[in-house]
Copies of this chain bind each other. A is one copy, B any other.
């Protein structure tokens, strides 16, 4: 099944645009889990069990696993294996390198870790992205406009009067021959989100950086979804994972996911 179909299927079945970001940090998970053989995997299992009927995707963040060396890599592999087959796995890796090396990254993420989609950096251009796109059934989300302060340094620079991120969005559209591209677009810039959605009406958007404020979610849904109120993947990590540091962490994560899903769906209806 193509990534986009798998995404839409999960999103419709669970009536959800919420993606749980598995940025699992040993320093932040409940202390009692540290007695487990693999505390990170044990934590992720509970989070997945308690949210799998409420999400459209899971997004493990590679950095958090790499920081633990080979045992982190193993926890990530087991986590990817544990995620239910009908829920897409988006590996947040932000890789970007020349062809031969990009091939190896694609192999690591798609073949070894069995991701359904990955995030990719655009800086090195088309031939650095192509090896990912050659996996026809997989999805590749290319960084467009990010939600951090540093986005101003280059992404907002004007090229012939237009910001770099718009040029990136258009290029990605031209690379989308196999219908397997997406864009990473931060939630902090509603006007820009609107503009990028105009440029790419049917690409799926991975949208991190949604804060706790309802107003921000409203504009994100209004401008970030497609004409059906779909194809937006709203990621939340810490607010869900660390909703409680006690024995009830999984239930608290479920409650927070449910709250976010329903708030998003409220604004989807109002569109």
Which of chain B's residues have a CB closer than 8 A to the CB of A126?
149-150, 153
A143 vs B159: C-alpha distance in the bound complex, in angstroms? 19
CA distance A143 to B68 in the complex (A): 26
Q: From A70-78, A133-141, A212-220, give the one contacting chain B.
A: A70-78
Within 8 A of B (CB), among A74-127: 74, 77, 92, 94-105, 107-109, 111-113, 121-127
Copies of this chain, count: 2
8 contacts between A and B (CB under 8 A): A63-B97, A67-B104, A69-B112, A123-B143, A126-B149, A126-B153, A129-B150, A157-B167
Given A70-B74, A123-B146, A154-B167, 16 other A-B residues pairs in contact with their CB atoms under 8 A: A61-B104, A63-B95, A63-B103, A63-B104, A64-B101, A67-B112, A92-B97, A96-B121, A121-B123, A122-B123, A122-B153, A128-B148, A128-B150, A153-B171, A154-B164, A158-B160
